[in-house]
Structure 1
Amino acid sequence: MGKVTGFKEFERQDESNTPVQERVKHYKEFTIPLSNEEITKQGSRCMDCGIPFCHSGCPLGNLIPDFNHMVHQGEWQKASWLLHSTNNFPEFTGRLCPAPCEKSCVLGIIEDPVSIENIEKQIVERAFKEGWIKPQPPKTRTGKTTAVVGSGPAGLAAAQQLNRAGHTVTVFERDDEVGGLLRYGIPNFKMEKEIIDRRIAILEAEGITFKTNVNVGVNYDVEELKKFDAVVLCGGATERRSLPTPGADADGVVQAMDFLTQQTKVLFGQEVKDQVLATDKHVIVIGGGDTGSDCVGTSNRHGAKSVVNFEIMPKPPGHRSPTTPWPFWPLQLKTSSSHEEGVERNWLINTKEFIKDANGKLIALKTVNVEWKMVPGERPQLIEVEGTEKTWPCDLALLALGFTGPESTIADKLGIERDARSNYKAEYGKYQTNIPNIFAAGDMRRGQSLIVWAISEGREAARQVDIYLMGKSDLPTKNEAGDLVAL
Structure 2
Amino acid sequence: MSTPTGFMQYQRQIPADRDPIDRIKDWEEFHKHLSDEELATQGARCMDCGTPYCHTGMELAGTVSGCPINNLIPEWNNLVYRGLWKEALDRLHKTNNFPEFTGRVCPAPCEGSCTVGLIGDAVTIKTIEQAIIDRGFDEGWVVPQPPKVRTGKRVAVVGSGPAGLATAAQLNKAGHTVTVYERADRIGGLLTYGIPTMKLDKAVVQRRVDLLAAEGIEFVTNTEIGKDIPAAELLNTFDAVVLCGGATKGRDVNIEGRNLNGIHMAMDYLNGTIKSYLDSNLEDGNYISAKDKNVIVIGGGDTGTDCVATALRHGCKSVTQFGTHPKAPLVRDTVNNPWPQFPNVYTLDYAHEEAKALYGEDPRAFSILTKKFVGDENGNVKELHTVQIERTVDENGNKIYKEIPGTEKVWPADLVLIAVGFEGPENTLIEQLGLEQDRRSNVKAPYGKYTTNVDKVFAAGDMRRGQSLVVWAINEGREAAREVDKYLMGSSMLP
- Out of 337, 348, 351, the residue aligned to residue 335 of structure 1 is 348
For 2:392 and 2:38, the matched residues in 1 are separated by 48
Report the TM-score, using the length of structure 1 for normalisation: 0.96
Counterpart residue number, 1:83: 92
Following superposition, the deviation at residue 450 of structure 1 comes to 0.7
- Out of 239, 263, 276, the residue aligned to residue 249 of structure 2 is 239
Greater shift after overlay, 176-185 or 327-336?
Answer: 327-336
* 1:449-478 Cα distance to aligned partner (Å, 9 max, x none): 1111000000000000000000000001xx
- Out of 306, 314, 323, the residue aligned to residue 336 of structure 2 is 323
Q: Say whether residues 1:129 and 2:138 are aligned partners.
A: yes
- Out of 451, 459, 470, the residue aligned to residue 478 of structure 2 is 459
Give the SS at the match of 2:279.
Answer: coil
* 1:210-240 Cα distance to aligned partner (Å, 9 max, x none): 0000111111111211110001000000110
Counterpart residue number, 2:261: 251
Counterpart residue number, 1:23: 23
For 2:347 and 2:189, the matched residues in 1 are separated by 25
Structure 2, unaligned runs of 5 or more:
57-65, 356-361
Q: Say whether residues 1:214 and 2:223 are aligned partners.
A: yes
Alpha carbons 2:70, 2:95 under 8 Å: kept: yes
- Out of 360, 368, 372, the residue aligned to residue 353 of structure 1 is 372
Counterpart residue number, 1:7: 7
- Out of 309, 313, 316, the residue aligned to residue 297 of structure 1 is 309
Q: Say whether residues 1:157 and 2:166 are aligned partners.
A: yes
Counterpart residue number, 1:108: 117
- Out of 172, 183, 186, the residue aligned to residue 192 of structure 2 is 183
For 2:23 and 2:9, the matched residues in 1 are separated by 33
**Structure 2 letter corresponding to 1:364:** E
Alpha carbons 2:52, 2:74 under 8 Å: kept: yes
Alpha carbons 1:242, 1:399 under 8 Å: kept: yes
Give the SS at the match of 2:259.
Answer: coil
For 2:450 and 2:219, the matched residues in 1 are separated by 23
Alpha carbons 1:262, 1:272 under 8 Å: kept: no
- Out of 370, 391, 406, the residue aligned to residue 372 of structure 1 is 391
Identity %: 54
Give the SS at the match of 2:264.
Answer: strand
For 2:33 and 2:200, the matched residues in 1 are separated by 14
Counterpart residue number, 2:126: 117
Residues 124 and 364 from structure 1, CA distance in 2 versus in 1: closer, same or farther, beyond 3 angstroms?
same
Matches within 5 A, 1:408-447: 408-447=427-466
For 2:399 and 2:21, the matched residues in 1 are separated by 42
Report the TM-score, using the length of structure 2 for normalisation: 0.95
Q: Say whether residues 1:167 and 2:186 are aligned partners.
A: no
- Out of 240, 249, 260, the residue aligned to residue 270 of structure 2 is 260
* 1:411-463 Cα distance to aligned partner (Å, 9 max, x none): 10000100111110001110000112000000000000111100000000000
For 1:64 and 1:274, the matched residues in 2 are separated by 43
Q: Say whether residues 1:280 and 2:292 are aligned partners.
A: yes
RMSD (CA atoms): 1.1
**Structure 2 letter corresponding to 1:269:** D
Counterpart residue number, 1:39: 39
Give the SS at the match of 1:268.
Answer: helix
For 1:444 and 1:175, the matched residues in 2 are separated by 17
Following superposition, the deviation at residue 272 of structure 1 comes to 6.0
**Structure 2 letter corresponding to 1:7:** F
Following superposition, the deviation at residue 331 of structure 1 comes to 2.3
For 1:185 and 1:394, the matched residues in 2 are separated by 24
For 2:216 and 2:260, the matched residues in 1 are separated by 48
Structure 1 consecutive aligned stretches of length 4 or more whose deviation exceeds 4 Å: 270-274
How many residue pairs were aligned? 476
Counterpart residue number, 2:234: 225
For 1:348 and 1:236, the matched residues in 2 are separated by 29
* 1:42-75 Cα distance to aligned partner (Å, 9 max, x none): 1111013222111112110100000000001100
Alpha carbons 1:145, 1:168 under 8 Å: kept: yes
Counterpart residue number, 1:395: 414
Give the SS at the match of 1:200.
Answer: helix
**Structure 2 letter corresponding to 1:279:** K
For 1:378 and 1:264, the matched residues in 2 are separated by 38
Following superposition, the deviation at residue 382 of structure 1 comes to 1.3
Counterpart residue number, 2:468: 449
Counterpart residue number, 2:63: none
Counterpart residue number, 1:479: none
Greater shift after overlay, 46-55 or 439-448?
Answer: 46-55
Counterpart residue number, 1:202: 211
For 1:9 and 1:220, the matched residues in 2 are separated by 60
Alpha carbons 1:248, 1:354 under 8 Å: kept: yes
For 2:477 and 2:299, the matched residues in 1 are separated by 28
Alpha carbons 1:283, 1:299 under 8 Å: kept: yes
For 2:246 and 2:347, the matched residues in 1 are separated by 25
Following superposition, the deviation at residue 274 of structure 1 comes to 5.2
For 2:451 and 2:126, the matched residues in 1 are separated by 32
Following superposition, the deviation at residue 373 of structure 1 comes to 3.4
Give the SS at the match of 1:264.
Answer: helix
Greater shift after overlay, 267-276 or 14-23?
Answer: 267-276
Following superposition, the deviation at residue 246 of structure 1 comes to 0.7
* 1:153-197 Cα distance to aligned partner (Å, 9 max, x none): 000000000000000000000000000011010111111100001
Alpha carbons 1:3, 1:72 under 8 Å: kept: no
Give the SS at the match of 1:32.
Answer: coil
Alpha carbons 2:55, 2:73 under 8 Å: kept: yes
Following superposition, the deviation at residue 378 of structure 1 comes to 5.5
